[in-house]
Amino acid sequence: MLDEKLIKRADQIKPYFYHLKSHPKAYNIFNQKHEKLCADIYVNLVEYFQEWYCEFDQEFESVKLRPDRQSVFNGLPAMWEIDRATMVHRKIISKAEKYLRYSRKYNRQFRVIFACSGRRARNLITTLQQFRNPNVWFYTVDYNELFKSPSAPIFYSVTGERVALLPPLDSQETSTTQEITSDLKEPTN
């Protein structure tokens, strides 16, 4: 397949990583690490998700928004942004504004979770505090804590609190959405 030029070997990645030549974005070491973090989140949290996907529909395109991944847990949608500290401040603000625009335009309620390193998660939530909104709840989380203790209060909220968004697995079937989603009652100011 390589000789027929149907696939391409990604640059700088070992062990070798191959992708379809027709793929719109050629893989390199940077986006491979990004995609691996997306996969790690899925693998570590799959038991919590009712859905996990990477789709870009017309609604997202209409506000020029591309979440890294989307999920549904506890019956509520969540948009995931995987940040390896490569996103500049103004791009994060722009993304937050697009999420708010998307929510208003299509009358949607959802969470936006920025998964990043610990220090970045703590710093980033202060930037996101200006985007407190009754329909879009912004959180940051240290992806290392996410892998170790997903049901602990590890998510930084724009209210300044650390909250647990995921229930302990042994109680997931018996908990109600009302009990689990107390973060949906955040004050708007």
pTM > 0.75: yes
Q: Does domain 28-185 have CATH number 3.10.510?
A: no
Report in angstroms the alpha-carbon separations of 88 from 120, 127, 181.
Answer: 12, 12, 31
Is there a contact between 166 and 48 (Cβ–Cβ < 8 Å)? yes
Q: Summarize pLDDT for 20-67 with one digit per residue, the tens.
A: 666 556 566 667 788 889 889 999 999 999 999 887 788 999 999 999
Q: Across residues 2-25, what is the average pLDDT?
A: 64
Q: Summarize pLDDT for 99-109 with one digit per residue, the tens.
A: 999 999 999 99
Label the pairing between strands 49-53 and 155-157: unpaired
